[in-house]
Amino acid sequence: MSGSRGCYARCTFCDIKSFYKNGRGPGWRGRSPANILHEMRIIQRRYGKDLTFSFVDDQFIGPGKKGYNQAVEFANLLLKSGGDFAFEITCRADTVERDLFALLKKAGLHGVYIGIDSGSPKGLEHFRKDLSMEDNLRAIKILNALKIPVDLGFIMFEPLMSLNDLQHNIDFLRKVSFSGVFINPAAILNSLSLYPETPIISQIPNASEYHFRLNGFECQSSLFLDQRVAIIRDALKRYWTFSLKSHFQSAEQLLENSISEPFCPENIDRAKSILLHSSEFLLDLLEELTDELQSIDVTKHQSALARYNLIIRSKTENLFSTLKDDMLKGRLKDMIIS
């Protein structure tokens, strides 16, 4: 359900701002907490209390002190209602305050999606996030301390990045993973998608020449300023798609099925182990490929770059094949609950 529409942030890659600027009124418009609670009660009466409300808001918590106070009012209304509510929200890192989220958890908050988007200072600048890496890590630390599950939005590959920026992303995700946050394997392979009328298009040479679909357009390799980054991205995505994607999806399905009835802790542990192992593998592989290409000057050695393209593909194929064998030895298929 929706508690608000729009967003007040300035992210250059996001089409939300471009879409809502054509309407009247502020960029972020929230419903009253009482109105949201009223709809939640109607849904519970109709479908029962054994459900989780997933708020699809682009930014659940509004701007400034007013947004903070509305979130506090919402949590207090849920608590005073005496109802049993479970809900998930999306928010920016700079809205995560310990007291507020402790109260939201008490009211039924079960999960938070945060668009971190980059672990590189330059990436955060390109995206105009108006946040630092320290801001993002602070938010994650607060949610971890409160034992609120965190799901990270992350853009591993984008055309303005260098190999150093890619290494910053790898280091950031390792740091987050070490803190106990689960990193989805799919997020590690995520690339920037371009949308019509978004500011970042003007930052990317030749991007404006492409025809953009309303549902997004994943950046072509030719748009990457550092072709070494494009080589790494394409190699990983190639063997993810053709070799391992179905196995990871099976593990995710196992996890989802095991959480629902009949509850099966053993299968939950197995699925989490597979997904965690795959994330660690992808980060290790990314780091290895990044180190491999650091010495290549793409402005002077196009022939060497072409040769390394083949080497990277071969190495990636061999490593993915090894991981696939390991997963099959773990009898993943036998774990799936039909």
- Angstrom distance (rounded) from CA 294 to CA 286: 12
Asked whether the predicted pLDDT for residue 214 surpasses 50, the reply is yes
Is residue 203 a contact partner of residue 230, using CB atoms and an 8 Å limit?
no
Determine the pLDDT at residue 125. Answer: 95
Q: How much is the average pLDDT of 20-27?
A: 71
Question: Does residue 235 or residue 267 have the better pLDDT?
Answer: 235
Asked whether the predicted pLDDT for residue 60 surpasses 60, the reply is yes
Question: 183: pLDDT confidence band, cut at 50, 70 and 90?
Answer: confident
* Highest averaged pLDDT of the listed ranges 233-247, 249-263, 271-285: 271-285
Asked whether the predicted pLDDT for residue 54 surpasses 80, the reply is yes
CATH code of the domain made up of 1-155: 3.20.20.70
Is residue 137 a contact partner of residue 94, using CB atoms and an 8 Å limit?
no
Share above pLDDT 70 across residues of the chain, in percent, rounded to a whole number: 73
Determine the pLDDT at residue 39. Answer: 96
Determine the pLDDT at residue 184. Answer: 80
Determine the pLDDT at residue 338. Answer: 30
Q: Enumerate residues 6+ apart whose C-beta is below 8 A from 14.
A: 7, 195, 198
Question: 331: pLDDT confidence band, cut at 50, 70 and 90?
Answer: very low
Going 152 to 154 to 156 to 162, the CA torsion angle's sign is negative
∠ CA 288-289-294 to the nearest 5 degrees? Answer: 100
261-307: per-residue pLDDT in tens?
454 556 556 666 666 777 887 888 888 888 878 877 665 555 555 66
Cis bond upstream, residue 262 (ω within 30): yes
What pTM was estimated for this model as a whole?
Answer: 0.84
Is residue 236 a contact partner of residue 321, using CB atoms and an 8 Å limit?
no
Asked whether the predicted pLDDT for residue 260 surpasses 70, the reply is no
Question: Does residue 154 or residue 18 have the better pLDDT?
Answer: 154
**Encoding tokens for residue 44?**
């519970």
Instruction: Give the count of beta carbons closer than 10 Å to the beta carbon of residue 145.
Output: 11
* Strand-pair partners of 117: 154
Asked whether the predicted pLDDT for residue 49 surpasses 80, the reply is yes
For the chain, the average pLDDT equals 82
Q: How much is the average pLDDT of 234-246?
A: 66
Task: Give the up-direction half-sphere exposure of residue 30: CA atoms within 13 A in the CB hemisphere.
Answer: 22
Q: Write down the H helix ranges in the chain.
A: 16-20, 33-47, 64-81, 98-107, 121-126, 133-145, 163-178, 185-188, 227-239, 245-259, 265-293, 302-329, 332-335
Domain limits, CATH 3.20.20.70, in the chain? 1-155
